[in-house]
Structure 1
Amino acid sequence: MSAVMTTPDPGQVYEFTAEVPQGQVIRYDLAALCSALNINDPTRIAVETDGLRRAMITVYPSNPLAQVRAVTREDLVMDRHGRIVIGVYHNGRPVKKRLFDPSTGSAQRHLVFGTTGAGKSRVVHLELAAEKINGFVSWLADLKFGQSVPEAEEHVDWPVRTQEGAVLMTMAAVAVAQDRMRRYAAAGRSAFVLGVDPLLNVTLDEANRALERGAPYRDLMTHLIKELGRTGRSVGVGVRLSAQAAHLEELGGSDTLRAMLKEGEVTLLRWSGSMMRQLVADGLLPAGEQLMPIPKTLAPRELRSQFDPAADDDDDAPGTQGMGYLLSGPRPTAMMRHLRVGSIAPLAGKDPEILALYGPGEPARLEELSAEADGENIGLIAYHLRHDPVAFQALCDQFREIYQQKPGHGGGGQHAGGAVDDGPEESADRPRKVLVEDRVRAVLAAADAPMSADEVLAAVNSDGGKQVSGGTVRNKLSALVDSGAAVQPGRGLYAPVR
């Protein structure tokens, strides 16, 4: 293959496949691949694998995603499958994301991950605009005090900016889901039908601020979002989290919450180098799959003499905001880029292009709730006060005072607003004891390939915990195999069941 690519035509696109023998899993090293193909700009290469033996390698004359067109309102109208067009893949084909599943009547759970500056806020704008265009009721908690997506506030049914507002909003969403469950059961309905009630989506932008260790209402918010995940999907109440990282501690320390959300629509923008192993370990990316890294800019790396005056030039290069992977889509390893949302240059005020995307008119409003739901639930009281800033702030202050007086600041037991918490799975105050089996599982899950018992032992003893013996690790490995949690793909090798 390297002979074919030694002197490529700079205007041509090259595509070829690679395959490993049966019984092996294909893996690649990006730097080695670029070296073999005589390419010094890795952003020109797109690699997709089938997760097993084959890979498709495409080499472009320049990065095909350096420029993308602006999104239009037509892109955001749902098709008959409940999907909207959010971007383009590297081959120019549209990227479609599901907002609603008409075949099951299910609201969706959304995760948007990425580092600072990766474009998360523009993705949130794109999807909130789609919700308004399609008649969804949008509730938005912008936990950067409203600074993250300011244009959205007048185009959603309920915007909040504070931690207390986010808690009350999520309480209200749970109350809506429970009210719909009661009404649907009485009517003999087993599923949500779009058009009978409006679909409600709750968006938590900068969700890590509410769910990370040390957040003031972490346990309560974790419980409420778990409750939405359990009950909201079948009654038309969805949830979207936009967060800085995919680490468990960023999502309330809850395996249950993480498992529910990763079954939804998962978008990964530019990530840090340590996240790839975490993605595989958490099941957000299948074992054996790899993603091409996304640089901060598309500037090619050039080796210049240290005495070359041009080496000091600071030429601008296109950024990579909006580039990413739709991990829940049919092509999870295909790099894509979201359609452009708003102005490229920073503006002193609200962006007129984003406001135009939302369009004129009022956003959709929530249906009238039953008297049983609308009685004493503090979240729904907050909803009715959303247009009265003074009264709403007073209610937030009252909630904060009541919450701070509770033992443990909202651990297990009865929460304000009537929601019953089953207690945190793990918290800073009451950490679960980490067993040797947990450590062995973690090592296997984080590995890129099957491991021998000696390799597992070395990794366990380097994880910062208490030192263990080889016999203990081998016993735990055997127990995991016997329980079906691990397999032996080869003699003396161990791997987790994905």
Structure 2
Amino acid sequence: MESATPTRPNTAASTKSARPAPTRSPCPASAPSDNPPAAPHPAKEDTPVTTEPITAHAFGTVWTEQAARYELGRSARYEHARSIHRRVKLERAVYGAATLGITITPQSETLWQSHLAAATAAAGSLAWLWRKGQGRARLARLHQDLQRTLPLSRRQPLTSPTCFNPGTPWWEIADAIGWGLTMTATAPVSRARQLPTPPAASTDAATQPKALQLAPTTYEEDRAYRWAAARATGTTRLTHVTRYQHGLPDFHGIVVAEAGEAVPDLNPTALAAVFDFPPGSVVLEPIPNSGPGRKHLIAAPTALARRAQADDDPMHRLWNAKVSHPKGAAPGMILADYRTEPNRIALRVTAPDDQLIQLNQKKIARAFDYKDTSLVMVETDGLGDGLISLYRTHPLLNVREATAADLTMAPDGTIALGQQPDGRIGRIPLYDPQMGAITDLFVGAPGAGKSVTLLHVIAAERISGIVSIVADAQDGMSLPEVDGRVFHFGKGIAATAATLAAAVDLGKYRESVSAENGWGSFEIGNPWPLVNVTLDELNRILSADATVPRPFRKWVTGLVGDTQSTGRKLGLGIRFAAQSIHLADLGDKDRIRANAKNGTVWLGRTNSSTTQHMARDGVLPPGVEIAPIPRYFGTGEGSAINAAFEGKEAQHGPITAGMANIINGGSLFTNRTWFARKENKTYPHLIDLMESHDIPWLTEQEVIVFGVSYQRWLAFAEALLAGEGEEGIQEAVDAHQGVVKEQSAFLGDDEDDDQPSASSIKDRILDVLANGPMALKDVRKRLADEFAAGSVNNAMGELHNIDGLVTVVSRGVYQLTQ
């Protein structure tokens, strides 16, 4: 019977005959697959070799023809000589046993069954031979099948006469012995596997290279076989062959020359011809720290085909010409993939292994001929991956209203605040289950949608059972909807400060109880509810140009810092909201500004690049750029410039209220808050959402602590605002049950005001340059009353070299980059 493993052709009858040199026709050219190609990367020479079987694949005419020739020649596959020798020995042993049996069996009349079995086997063998010969065109194959039937077909005619001849004549014994000797000498079954013989094959095994003495059974072995069989490769050997991906023809290996010789430098055509690959898809490279006797071979036909396909793709051509070019919008960045949608083209971008991702929104918009930068959105992870979205029309023109389900806090502490440009929901946290209460910063110019966003957040707190303590320094005009709908709402500057002071006392109460019980963390509802303090229009108190007295501003600044330091472990979060923010707005306290951003930064449309920088500074990784929010949605390409050129009035699109860049945990995404319809100067839908659930309250003891503290500190704040001095303040305190005197430590002394931090110098420089380019000497003159000339020079150098906010226009003249 046929073996499942094809053997090696051989023309000699003896088992010790030499192995002929194989021809190249039976070997497949490669074994590619339909999987998408992957760009290969060089591997070390000690990479372990895998052993996948070779599979045929239709990859062009060449691959199909070579695979067909391989299938036709499977019966001529080579087999090791030791295996053939073992088979011949086994076959001869069978003949020896059969000879003894057919010598003894005919002499016994009771063993007629053996004669019947021999006759049946012979008849079956002839029937099998007849069936195999039907329609067969290859004479060599028919000869091969005939040779396998010889042991049975020859033995039956010789043993048949013994069934009818009585006695034991000498010729019966001689006949059996002669048959056994003939079969043992020829071993016809084993020899049948050696046909046909390869044409013009050499039989001198000593002259064959070592790589050709074994049959290639895997793709890796076939690559080494082809290299050794090629004339151009000489006596070199291909070792450590490793495929980059199973099913693809791409591979790499190490070419080794004989001792004392160098690996020859073959041209691309000769290298490709060795494996029958397209020219240019095989390269031979030197190995670092290795001599000329070893080189790294890389064969990547699918990668070459992929590059050719990319060159034919319009998007890749545009990317290579205008974006990734050395002078392009994003030099060196790689377009890994892209997909198109009805209103969007999404570009997946990666950075080279030795670079960080760098994507500039304005430059990319310019490269793709976009006049409206808001239609080009960029997201990166700050390391090596990025996503560019090109929109036909702005996807956030229309968003729906919020539902109670949107504003219900999920187990991870987040709520759905709006929609992102790609259709995903924008989520922000109200609480961090791992870290505790958080501190948020909401910044936006008038009309940016900051108040509507805060109303959604406060409504979410009421729906989710979070106690909301709110204060509005603009006499309650920014958030009138929350009046009477939250646990506490303070209106005005004094009420805002008193609300913050009472929240500090509430935290101290929780701190004392926690210390008594040995608690080191906070758990919602055990025993206290989560509290979030929202302070809106805080810039009316903390900004440098605020009309409040300096002692009042310093007092509030101290309260802010104290709340941030202790609130996280006490379930007391705080949220700042202002129209602008930088160090000067927070009393030159770097710690306060940093703590204000350990939660979420909601950065809407701002009026200055200074505010934008201060809000994002320290929370975004290098290379992540933030796109400013425009006032209006675009109405057409270059409409404002065209209108100015033609002397016409520019047409504005809808206002972008509610749009913001949200930063959380180092990640950045663009979001637009849910739509809110205004009627009678309020938002009825948001009011309905708040009133759909009961107002969460503090515990009974906490209500007393907060209420008493608020009344005390309200009197203190009003007296401090009136500028009545220490005597007037003390009288106000005594009149309201005596505010704790140690709280006056928050007033501090005035020595700190004479020593502003270095960072505040940068803020003032940015404020000055916001009006346009200015010479350094003029900047020093403008700030002469506040800072020394040397301090201004040093701060300007840091802004130019480190922060990158300032660029040099001409000698000694600076301007903002944005």
Name the TM tier (shorter chain): 0.7 to 0.9
Q: Kindly provide the CA deviation profile for residues 170-220 of structure 1, in whole angstroms up to 9, marking residues without a partner as x.
A: 121111111111112222222111112111111111111122234342111
Q: Deviations over 1:76-119 (max 9, x none)?
A: 11111111111122211111111112234x11211101111101
Query: Once the 2 structures are TM-superposed, how far is the Cα of residue 224 of structure 1 from its aligned partner?
Result: 1.0
The one of 258, 267, 272 equivalent to 2:593 is 258
Q: Counterpart in 2 of 1:401?
A: 719
**Deviation digits for residues 418-472 of structure 1 (CA, Å, limit 9, x no counterpart):** 5536557897x7434368xx479959x99xxxxxxxxxx9999799554449xx9
Structure 1 residue 291: Cα displacement: 1.2
Q: Which position in structure 2 is the counterpart of 1:51?
A: 382
Q: Give the match for residue 238 of structure 1.
A: 573
CA distance in 2, matches of 1:231, 1:246: 23
Q: 1:37 aligns with which of 359, 368, 391?
A: 368
Q: Is the 8 A contact 2:376 2:391 kept in 1?
A: yes
Give the aligned residue type for 1:359: E
Matched, 1:336 2:671: yes
Q: CA RMSD in A?
A: 4.0
In structure 1, the residue matched to 2:446 is 116
1:319-351 Cα deviation digits (max 9, x unpaired)? 21111121115631x2221222x21xx533433
Report the equivalent of 1:68. 399
* Contact kept? 2:382, 2:621, Cα under 8 Å: yes
2:658 aligned residue: 322
CA distance in 2, matches of 1:284, 1:405: 41
Cα distance 1:430–1:193, how it changes in 2: closer, same or farther (>3 A)? closer
Q: Distance in 2 between matches of 1:164 and 1:51?
A: 43
Change (3 A) 1:133 1:120: same
Report the counterpart of residue 138 of structure 1 in structure 2: 468
Of 536, 544, 550, the match for 1:205: 536
- 1:408 to 1:206, Cα distance in 2 relative to 1, 3 A: farther
Higher helix share: 2
Residue 148 (str. 1) matches residue 483 (str. 2): no
The answer for the alignment partner of 2:108 in structure 1 is none
1:228 CA drift (Å): 1.0
* CA separation of 1:153 and 1:71: change in aligned 2, threshold 3 A: same
Quick one: distance in 2 between partners of 1:322 and 1:350? Answer: 16
CA separation in 2, counterparts of 1:400 and 1:313? Answer: 48
Q: 1:52 to 1:101 in 2, by over 3 A?
A: closer
Paired AA for residue 346 in structure 2: E
- Return closer, same or farther for 1:11/1:102 CA change in 2, 3 Å cut-off: closer
Question: Offset at 1:284?
Answer: 3.4
Greater gyration radius: 2
State the match for 1:162 in structure 2: 492
How far is 1:396 from its partner?
3.9
1:14 to 322, 341, 345: 345
TM-score, length basis structure 2: 0.48
Gaps of 5+ in 1: 386-391, 447-456, 478-484, 487-498
Letter in 2 for 1:263: N
The match for 1:480 is none
Q: 2:690 aligns with which of 337, 358, 377?
A: 358
**Partner in structure 2 of residue 433 of structure 1:** 755
Call closer, same or farther: CA 1:227–1:439 in 2, change over 3 Å.
Answer: closer
The answer on whether the counterparts of 2:467 and 2:696 sit within 8 Å (CA) in structure 1 is yes
Question: Is the CA contact (8 Å cut-off) linking 2:659 and 2:671 kept in structure 1?
Answer: yes
Report the 3-state secondary structure (helix = DSSP H, G, I; strand = E; otherwise coil) of the residue aligned with 1:327: strand
Q: Which of 582, 595, 604 matches 1:247?
A: 582
Contact 2:660-2:672 at 8 Å conserved across structures: yes
Number of equivalent positions: 438
Q: Please state how far the C-alpha of 1:305 moved relative to its aligned partner.
A: 6.7
- Distance in 1 (CA, whole Å) between partners of 2:777 and 2:622 is 21
In the alignment, is residue 369 of structure 1 matched against residue 704 of structure 2? no
* Alignment partner of 1:179 out of 509, 519, 527: 509
> Is it true that 1:291 corresponds to 2:626 in the alignment?
yes
Q: How far apart, CA to CA, are the structure 2 residues paired with 1:95 and 1:122? A: 16
Q: Which stretch has the larger CA shift, 50-59 or 397-406?
A: 397-406
Choose 230-239 or 17-26, whichever is displaced more.
17-26
The one-letter amino acid paired with 1:48 is E
State how far apart, in whole Å, the 2-side matches of 1:317 and 1:90 are: 17
SS in 2 for 1:263: coil
CA offset at residue 294 of structure 1?
1.4
Partner of 1:95: 426
Change in Cα spacing, 1:462 to 1:324, as seen in structure 2 (3 Å) is: farther
Q: Secondary structure at the match of 2:522?
A: coil
1:12/1:96 CA distance change after superposition, 3 Å = closer
SS in 1 for 2:406: helix
| Identical columns (%) | 27
1:381 aligns with 2:708: yes
Q: 1:219 aligns with which of 548, 554, 558?
A: 554
Distance 1:363 1:460, change over 3 A: same
Secondary structure of residue in 2 paired with 1:369: helix
Partner of 1:492: none
CA distance in structure 2 between the aligned counterparts of 1:55 and 1:286, rounded to whole angstroms: 13
1:482 corresponding residue in structure 2: none
> Quick one: structure 1 residues 101 and 34, their matched pair in 2 at CA, closer, same or farther if it must change by over 3 Å?
closer
Pick 1 or 2: higher relative contact order, CA cutoff 8 A, min separation 6.
1
CA contact (8 A) 1:280 1:286 kept: no
1:78 and 2:414 equivalent? no
Deviation of 1:232 after TM superposition, in Å, equals 1.7
Q: Deviation per CA, 1:53-73: give whole Å up to 9, x if none.
A: 543211122111111111111
